[in-house]
Amino acid sequence: MASIFTKIINGEIPCFKVAENDTFFAFLDINPLAKGHTLVVPKVEVDYIFDNDAATLSNIMIFSQKVAKAIEAVVPCERIGVAVLGLEVPHTHVHLVPINSIGDLDFRKPRVVLSKEEMAELADKIAAQL
C-alpha cells in the first residue's frame, strides 16, 4: 500500500507544498515542532533512509540545502536543524526544523499549532524563496 507521503506526492492527500523537482518533494509538517518545520521526501518510496541508492541519499541533502536556505529566509532562527526518524511514516523523509537551542529539536515536545491559513501563507513564502 502506498505511504501517506506517496499519496501526498500524487496529489491524493492535500499538503502545504514548498518545493518539488523530478526526484524530491517538500511540504510543511502537519504537526510542526516549530513554525517552518518541513519534510523533504524522495518520490520513490523507500522506508529506511539508508536503504536508498547512493544518488538519492546524497541528492536529498543537496535538495534539502535549498529548502533549508528558503526556510531560513522566512523564519528567523539560529539555524535549520536536520533530523531523520521515520518511526511514524515508513517513507524516507528529512525533517528540517528552525531551531534556536538544542531543545527545539526534541520530538517529544508539544507541537506548534498553526491555522490552515497560516500554514498556506508560510508554505507560499518559503516556496517564493526557491
Binding footprint of ligand AMP on the chain (CB under 6 A): 4, 13, 15, 29-31, 39, 85-89, 93
* H helix or E strand, kind and range, residue 82: strand 79-83
- 74/96 with CB nearer ligand AMP: 96
- Closest approach, Cβ 85 to ligand AMP, in A, equals 4
Owner of C-alpha cell 526534541: 106
Nearer to ligand AMP, 30 or 127 (CB): 30
- What does the alpha-carbon distance between residue 108 and residue 42 come to, in Å, rounded to a whole number? 25
Is 100 or 107 the residue whose CB approaches ligand AMP more closely?
Answer: 107
Task: Compute the least distance from the CB of residue 47 to ligand AMP, in Å.
Answer: 10
Measured in degrees and rounded to the nearest 5, phi and psi for residue 100 equal -125, -15
